[in-house]
Structure 1
């Protein structure tokens, strides 16, 4: 599943120019975003990305660069704001009432066997009572 033309039209203006500061031209941003979406949707390891997405290192590096320079933050704040302004976003609230019980050791219980009943008695240096 790749981006539709309508989705791409919203995302493209938020991305950096395709000519990086150094070197040649970057691979098409749309193909990289499709590769990132595929990776997270399927849980595929980076090294197992299908070849039609290009080099997995290039995709991973672009993901990291965009995270560092704020591109993803801009995308993930602008798109919901646009959709909400246009009435395309429907907010849903959900509350989970699942009860999770922690193991006794998670609550600070002693881990090394039972506690001794009392402290051991130490012999006194005093003379023995007669």
Structure 2
């Protein structure tokens, strides 16, 4: 079952296109859902991380590539809601006198 689930996520194939050598795609899908719901995957992941960390196999390095990081549209200089800063004083307009 684990090989079937790993194959599905590694290749991005739909569940129904899972090769027959892995058995029933419905069985693999149902097992994945059950293990996710009851916390089995979290327990396995935690145990594997602890083991790898104890053996010194983890390098806890985080890298962020700027080609995948995007700023929100409002980070590009759009006007923010709320009070304006003190440097932007608003002067009342003078209406022409109608006479």
Q: Same fold (TM over 0.5)?
A: yes
Partner of 1:60: 29
Distance in 2, matches of 1:52 and 1:100, equals 41
Partner of 1:78: 47
The 1:84–1:101 alpha-carbon spacing in structure 2 relative to 1, beyond 3 Å, is: closer
Partner of 1:120: none
TM-fit CA distance, 1:76: 1.1
The one-character-per-residue Cα deviations of 1:13-47 (angstroms, maximum 9, x if unpaired) are xxxxxxxxxxxxxxxxxxx0000000000000000
Partner of 2:19: 50
TM-fit CA distance, 1:71: 0.3
Which one has a bigger Cα radius of gyration?
1
The one-character-per-residue Cα deviations of 1:89-120 (angstroms, maximum 9, x if unpaired) are 2221213334636669xx7xxxxxxxxxxxxx
Corresponding position: 1:41 with 2:6: no
Corresponding position: 1:100 with 2:70: yes
The 1:84–1:102 alpha-carbon spacing in structure 2 relative to 1, beyond 3 Å, is: closer
- Which contiguous aligned blocks of 4+ residues in structure 1 show a shift greater than 2 angstroms? 95-104
Distance in 2, matches of 1:103 and 1:86, equals 44
Gaps of 5+ in 1: 1-31, 108-130
Gaps of 5+ in 2: 79-99
Question: What is the TM-score when the length of structure 1 is the normalising length?
Answer: 0.51
Distance in 2, matches of 1:103 and 1:95, equals 20
